[in-house]
């Protein structure tokens, strides 16, 4: 009864049905069967029959009480039905026939809509017999609704918004992650993009939109697209999980099982070209559930092993499963039909895709941090290594500098007495002469020679002689050192000293003190006491003399020679020297 004010009517409670296993009965025969009362109520009140050969016929008697609405739209709310034939028998015996379904071109439909639909004329206050024949190689379902044009437009408006939102989200995620993949080249993004594409394509086919928009003139492609898109979506879904959860490295056994699923779905996809529709779709549909359970298990396992990105991954999958459970519970009458429950799969999968995109970003960030940490650690290690090497090098350089310094010093010193050697003395003396000339201050040059030193060697031996030379050095340092004297061994048993700022009597007294110091105590060596004496020649260099090193030394040497001639153990001032 289409009462006044009624805008739409779900036909399921009003339908009876009869099976036609061979699918060859015609409308006249079925009208006759119905008249004989051979049509039965729907099993469980639902027009759902699973995979069935042949056809199912449905019957309803329609009576339009509404004065205004004579034109109604009959919609079969299931897009995958192969063939739908609608017969209307009017009171005058006239029978009208219309056909639709995805074995016919899309243009055969009454209005351009993703579900098969038919305009039905229902004259006022007359009884019309509705007979519908449904045949399909996919699951046989025939949920039918009658709409007034206004009710259909309003219902469809809401539906289009929901569908648009769903595919909009999918497309945005697809484009965004495709760009990310092109930029970052992380395979996870590629498999995610393909997963979204595969899933989107399946939904597009199942919604009937692929037939409407992609291949409206190819019923063959519309039928082939379902198993192909299923196979593709499952292959990339498993591949995405493998890549995201890093199964090859983290769970090798699960990785092999995953590869098994991929091989199965890939083969079934190929087989869809040759196998009958049902043979291809049924095994795949059955394999989807263990596949999903498997993914849940490996995700839980990954979390248990401390792989943090798997948490978001699992949450994403939980949303999809929850959405699917909502949808299924409406089908089984457990939950009421609301926006959330009816569009559970779409909502769940949209949330799943969004969360998976977050999961990918999280995983990528984690990989980047891990990389940065490794690089940082490596750099720190390198820096420590370089610092250690640098400190070793600088220590070695310091040691080398010290050794060089020692070497330089030893090259300046006489090994026996520790005084400067002759070569270094000449350099230093030259500087002193120069400074003295500039500052116009005097310098006293003393040349000393041990007396009869040959006898010392001959009597007590060379080692005793060496000890005497060392003693002589000490006497020089003790006596002239405090006066800033430049002291050197001149050669053999000869010594030289240059004392600055000393001249005249002071110079003679200083030399006398030195001479007396040398002969005051005998040198003690190996139980022997060796008496020593020295002769000293003095020359005083004055400012303005213009004296050179050799001149000064010659003069002092002459004085020394004179001291020797005077009988030794005495101090002699050079003749030309003016004290």
Ligand X SMILES: Nc1nc2c(ncn2[C@@H]2O[C@H](COP(=O)(O)OP(=O)(O)OP(=O)(O)O)[C@@H](O)[C@H]2O)c(=O)[nH]1
Give Cα 204 distance to the centre of its chain.
Answer: 36
Q: Comparing C-alpha atoms, which of 147, 141, 150 is closest to residue 9?
A: 147
CB of 394 vs ligand X, minimal distance in Å: 41
Contacting ligand X within 104-143 (CB under 6 A): none
- CA 33 to CA 380: how far, in whole Å? 89
**Residue 190 or 518 with smaller CB distance to ligand X:** 518
Alpha-carbon dihedral sign for residues 468, 473, 476, 477 = negative
3-state secondary structure of 164: helix
**Residue 469 or 547 with smaller CB distance to ligand X:** 469
Binding mask 232-251 for ligand X (x = CB under 6 A): --------------------
**Residue 52 or 564 with smaller CB distance to ligand X:** 564
Q: Give the number of other CB atoms < 10 A from CB of residue 5.
A: 9
Binding mask 393-432 for ligand X (x = CB under 6 A): ----------------------------------------
Angstrom CA distances, 71 to 68, 121, 378, stand at: 9, 5, 78
- CA 76 to CA 55: how far, in whole Å? 15
CB of 469 vs ligand X, minimal distance in Å: 6
3-state secondary structure of 482: helix
Cα angle for residues 400, 405, 411 (degrees, 5° grid):
125
CB of 463 vs ligand X, minimal distance in Å: 7
* DSSP symbols for 75-101: EES-TT-SEEEEEEE-TTS-EEEEEES
- Residues that bind ligand X (rule: CB under 6 A) add up to a total of 15
CB of 536 vs ligand X, minimal distance in Å: 13
- CA 541 to CA 547: how far, in whole Å? 7
3-state SS track over 516-554: HHHHHCCEEECCEEECCCEEEEEEEECCCCCCCHHHHHH
Q: Give the number of other CB atoms < 10 A from CB of residue 516.
A: 14
3-state secondary structure of 9: strand
Give Cα 317 distance to the centre of its chain.
Answer: 25
**Residue 154 or 466 with smaller CB distance to ligand X:** 466
Q: Select the residue whose beta carbon is closest to ligand X and give its number.
A: 465
**Residue 351 or 450 with smaller CB distance to ligand X:** 450
Binding mask 434-473 for ligand X (x = CB under 6 A): ---------------xxxxxx--x----x--xx--x----
**Residue 46 or 470 with smaller CB distance to ligand X:** 470
**Residue 72 or 453 with smaller CB distance to ligand X:** 453
* DSSP symbols for 215-263: -TT-HHHHHHHHHHHHHHHHHHHHHHHHHHTTHHHH-HHHHHHHHHHHH
Beta-bridged to residue 16, according to DSSP, are: 41, 59
492 binds ligand X (CB under 6 A): yes
3-state secondary structure of 571: strand
**Residue 526 or 579 with smaller CB distance to ligand X:** 526
CB of 435 vs ligand X, minimal distance in Å: 32
**Residue 43 or 522 with smaller CB distance to ligand X:** 522
CB of 534 vs ligand X, minimal distance in Å: 9
Angstrom CA distances, 473 to 38, 372, 447, 479, 486, stand at: 145, 69, 13, 10, 12
CB of 497 vs ligand X, minimal distance in Å: 18
CB of 514 vs ligand X, minimal distance in Å: 17
**Residue 178 or 464 with smaller CB distance to ligand X:** 464
CB of 492 vs ligand X, minimal distance in Å: 3
The only residue of 493, 545, 557, 558 in contact with ligand X, by rule CB under 6 A: 493
- CA 223 to CA 211: how far, in whole Å? 9
**Residue 6 or 452 with smaller CB distance to ligand X:** 452
Cα angle for residues 59, 61, 66 (degrees, 5° grid):
140
CB of 559 vs ligand X, minimal distance in Å: 14
- CA 81 to CA 12: how far, in whole Å? 17
Contacting ligand X within 528-567 (CB under 6 A): 564
CB of 465 vs ligand X, minimal distance in Å: 2
Question: Given the rule CB under 6 A, which residues bind ligand X?
Answer: 449-454, 457, 462, 465-466, 469, 492-493, 564, 568
């Amino acid at each position: 009864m289409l009462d006044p004010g009624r805008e739409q009517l779900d036909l399921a409670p009003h339908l009876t049905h009869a099976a036609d296993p061979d699918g060859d009965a015609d409308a006249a025969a079925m009208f006759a069967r119905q008249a004989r009362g051979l049509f039965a109520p729907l099993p469980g009140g639902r027009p759902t029959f699973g995979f069935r050969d042949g056809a199912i016929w449905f019957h309803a008697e329609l009576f339009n009480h509404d004065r205004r609405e004579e034109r109604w739209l009959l919609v079969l709310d299931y897009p995958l039905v192969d063939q739908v034939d609608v017969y209307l028998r009017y009171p005058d015996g006239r029978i009208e026939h219309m056909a639709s379904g995805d074995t016919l071109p899309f243009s055969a439909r009454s209005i351009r809509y993703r579900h098969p639909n038919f305009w039905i004329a229902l004259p006022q206050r007359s009884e019309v017999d509705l007979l519908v024949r449904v045949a399909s190689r996919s699951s046989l379902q025939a949920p039918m609704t009658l709409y007034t044009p206004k009710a259909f437009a309003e219902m469809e408006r809401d539906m289009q918004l929901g569908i648009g939102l769903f595919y909009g989200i999918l497309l945005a995620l697809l484009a965004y992650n495709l760009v990310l993949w092109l930029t970052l080249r992380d395979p996870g993004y590629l498999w995610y993009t393909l997963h979204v594409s595969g899933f989107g394509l399946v939904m597009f086919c199942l919604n009937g939109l692929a037939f409407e928009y992609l291949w409206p003139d190819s019923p063959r492609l519309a039928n082939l697209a379902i198993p192909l898109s299923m196979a593709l979506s499952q292959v990339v879904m498993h591949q995405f999980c493998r890549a995201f959860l890093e199964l090859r490295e983290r769970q090798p056994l699960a990785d092999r099982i995953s590869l098994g699923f991929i091989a199965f779905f890939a083969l079934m996809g190929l087989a869809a070209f040759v196998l009958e529709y049902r043979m291809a779709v049924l095994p795949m549909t059955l394999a989807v559930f263990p596949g999903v359970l498997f993914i849940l298990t490996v995700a839980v396992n990954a979390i248990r092993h401390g792989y943090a990105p798997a948490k978001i991954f699992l949450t994403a999958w939980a949303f999809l499963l929850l959405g699917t459970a909502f949808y299924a519970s409406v089908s089984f009458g457990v939950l009421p039909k609301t926006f959330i429950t009816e569009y559970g799969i779409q909502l769940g999968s949209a949330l799943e895709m969004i969360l998976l995109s977050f999961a990918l970003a999280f995983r990528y960030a984690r990989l980047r941090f891990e990389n940065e940490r490794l690089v940082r650690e490596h750099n720190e290690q390198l820096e420590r290594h370089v610092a250690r090497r640098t400190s070793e090098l600088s220590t070695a350089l310091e040691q080398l500098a010290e050794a060089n310094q020692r070497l330089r010093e030893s090259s300046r010193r006489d090994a026996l007495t520790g005084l400067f050697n002759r070569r270094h003395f000449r350099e230093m003396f030259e500087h002193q002469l120069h400074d003295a000339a500039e500052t116009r201050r005097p310098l006293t040059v003393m040349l000393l020679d041990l007396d009869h030193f040959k006898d010392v060697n001959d009597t007590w031996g060379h080692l005793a002689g060496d000890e005497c030379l060392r003693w002589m050095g000490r006497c020089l340092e003790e006596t002239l050192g405090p006066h800033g004297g430049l002291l050197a061994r001149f050669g053999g048993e000869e010594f030289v000293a240059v004392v600055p700022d000393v001249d005249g009597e002071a110079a003679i007294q200083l030399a006398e003190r030195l001479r007396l110091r040398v002969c005051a105590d005998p040198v003690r060596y190996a139980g022997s006491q060796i008496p020593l004496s020295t002769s000293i020649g003095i020359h005083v260099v004055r400012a303005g003399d213009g004296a050179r090193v050799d001149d000064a030394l010659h003069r002092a040497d002459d004085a020394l020679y004179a001291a020797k001639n005077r009988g030794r153990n005495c101090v002699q001032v050079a003749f030309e020297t003016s004290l």
